[in-house]
Structure 1
Amino acid sequence: MDKDNVLKMNLRPSEKMTRVLIPIAAVGIILLFLAFNSIVIVQAGTRGIVLQLGAVQPLVLNEGLHFKIPFIQKVIPIDVRVGKAQSDQTAASRDLQIVTTTIAVNFHLVPDEVNKLYQNVGLAYDDRIVAPAIGEAVKAVTAQYTAEELISKRSEVSSKVKETLASKLSTYYMALDEINITEFKFSTEYNNAIEQKQIAEQNALKAKLDLQRIEVESQQTIERAKAEAESLRLQKQEVTQELIDLRRIETQMRAIEKWDGKLPSVTGGVTPFIDANSVK
């Protein structure tokens, strides 16, 4: 017998088992590793972009469990939920006033086309696409309105900015959800001019109201005078000799009711209004 056969015959059973199990365990580990790398889970609110040897594949993975070829394919998750971008944009109005617009934008990536976005733009789409598109849209729309119109026609301005921005984002496989123009800021000189204009308008309105009040009061005075004159005229027409005699008798009757029955102790040249000889 040769030397190798002698060694094999002298091996213990445990050693034989170890020599058999080690290759099996190694194969098992390799298989587990391959299985682990063959499974990919796409989380909620995301999509999976498949790269095969570096090339973007047309298939976009939806949420859930998927299989890929280990070491050949790679899956890159990308968020398709609604995102927010907010910025301050400075532009010139139609009347050449400098306006700083604070705008908040809500948008999301088109889920079925994220592979095209990744291929053409990459993951830095906020800085490369969204921010410049917001600036261009705000500048283009602001130039169509005067500074005063930007405030008085705020909803119309917002609609135009939304329409312009949606068109720009759709080119890069993004969808615009909503925009909110939170503030318009103007230069100090323009703000002072607006304040002076408002003061002038308030003074003019006050003067107008004062004039209207004076006119109303004058008209009321005239109407009262007319009413008094008409009343006097009617009273004059109704005065007759019988009415005069009746008023005199009524006056004397009231005086008699108030008299205490005593004659004045001192009399002047005026005859008392009651004949003393008639009193018994």
Structure 2
Amino acid sequence: MKMQTASKLIAAIVILAILVSLAPFATVPAGNRGVMTTFGSPSPEVYSEGIHFRWPIAQSLHLVPVSIQKGEGEGDAASKDLQTVHTRVAINYHVRPEAVVSVYRDLGNEPGERIIIPSVQEAVKAVTARFTAEELISKRSQVRDEIVLALRERMARHGLVVDEFSIVNFNFSKTFNEAIEAKTTADQLKMKAERDLQRIEVEARQKISRAKAEAESLALQRQQVTPELLRLRETENQAKAIEKWDGRLPTTTGGAIPFLNIGSGGSGSSNSGK
């Protein structure tokens, strides 16, 4: 009896060891979903994060990332005015959790290579062809929005979602870059000339205003100068001179005595006694 019990215990241990070695349990880590295949055929069920049982040898659990993935790419396209445009873009996307089975089955669990890259290239070329090279620069946000719209329509059919899309850079031919630089310089010079002209016009108007004000002031002063005002100013000047006089007459003869008004007739004349 003891030998039979020991044999059963050994057999159970061996079976357990075989099961453990065959890994009957599989884990789906965070940010992923699982697709179970039985002899290579995927089941329609989506396995969420956690531990799941599988039949060893017969079944395998495959992981499909559903967290946000990042991709970058670049390529050449032609603008509406037939300028060659080298575009570099960046995209963030993720797989819809409920669509992981189709992504695994239809895209071989490689959405980046199978869908993302060709979809981005096609969308960039299609949208770039609707804008001139200059518009690609001046209307960059509109170009980006139209590319995103085209991407979302195509990627949604395969269970993919666009989270972010950005145009990293536009590069043009050397000739076009030189033409843009020349135009920018010309625009800057034109703006400077316009500002200088505005400043000159303002200064001229200021000078005219000042001259007009001075002329009006002089005209007003001339209107205010009357004979009575002149006599008043003369009287004021004589009064100031008398205040400054020290009372002594000049010692030289032959000149007029200042400040004395000699009348032609009056009892105070110097010739009255002759």
Shorter-normalised TM range: 0.7 to 0.9
Q: 1:233 aligns with which of 195, 208, 219?
A: 219
Greater shift after overlay, 65-74 or 45-54? 65-74
| Separation in structure 1 between the aligned mates of residue 2 and residue 244 of structure 2, nearest angstrom | 149
Aligned to 1:28: 13
Mark the CA change 1:198 to 1:271 in structure 2 (over 3 Å): closer, same or farther: farther
The 5-angstrom pairing of residues 57-206 of structure 1 reads 57-206=43-192
Deviation at 1:272, TM superposition (A): 7.0
Deviation at 1:156, TM superposition (A): 1.1
Deviation at 1:180, TM superposition (A): 1.4
Deviation at 1:126, TM superposition (A): 1.7
* Equivalent position SS for 1:37: coil
Deviation at 1:61, TM superposition (A): 0.7
Deviations along 1:174-207, one digit per CA (max 9) or x if unpaired, are 1111111222222222121111111111222222
Mark the CA change 1:29 to 1:240 in structure 2 (over 3 Å): closer, same or farther: same
**Once the two structures are aligned, what percentage of the paired residues are identical?**
44
Aligned to 2:269: none
Aligned to 2:29: 43
Deviation at 1:259, TM superposition (A): 5.6
| Separation in structure 1 between the aligned mates of residue 246 and residue 14 of structure 2, nearest angstrom | 139
Mark the CA change 1:19 to 1:222 in structure 2 (over 3 Å): closer, same or farther: same
Aligned to 2:271: none
Mark the CA change 1:251 to 1:187 in structure 2 (over 3 Å): closer, same or farther: farther
Deviations along 1:136-175, one digit per CA (max 9) or x if unpaired, are 1111111111111112212111111111111222232211
| Separation in structure 1 between the aligned mates of residue 79 and residue 256 of structure 2, nearest angstrom | 98
| Separation in structure 2 between the aligned mates of residue 137 and residue 209 of structure 1, nearest angstrom | 43
* Equivalent position SS for 1:145: coil
Deviation at 1:273, TM superposition (A): 4.9
Consecutive unaligned residues in structure 2, runs of 5 or more: 261-274
Mark the CA change 1:245 to 1:71 in structure 2 (over 3 Å): closer, same or farther: same
| Separation in structure 1 between the aligned mates of residue 126 and residue 243 of structure 2, nearest angstrom | 97
| Separation in structure 2 between the aligned mates of residue 256 and residue 134 of structure 1, nearest angstrom | 105
Find runs of 4+ consecutive structure 1 residues off by over 6 angstroms: 260-267
Aligned to 1:242: 228
Deviation at 1:220, TM superposition (A): 2.3
Structure 2 letter corresponding to 1:83:
Q
| Separation in structure 2 between the aligned mates of residue 151 and residue 97 of structure 1, nearest angstrom | 13
Mark the CA change 1:215 to 1:119 in structure 2 (over 3 Å): closer, same or farther: same
Mark the CA change 1:55 to 1:241 in structure 2 (over 3 Å): closer, same or farther: same
Aligned to 1:7: none
Consecutive unaligned residues in structure 1, runs of 5 or more: 1-15, 276-280
Deviations along 1:81-138, one digit per CA (max 9) or x if unpaired, are 0000012232111111222222110101121221211111213332222112111111
Alignment: residue pair count: 261
| Separation in structure 2 between the aligned mates of residue 270 and residue 96 of structure 1, nearest angstrom | 104
| Separation in structure 1 between the aligned mates of residue 251 and residue 178 of structure 2, nearest angstrom | 87
Greater shift after overlay, 100-109 or 228-237? 228-237
Deviation at 1:257, TM superposition (A): 4.9
CA RMSD, 1 decimal: 2.8
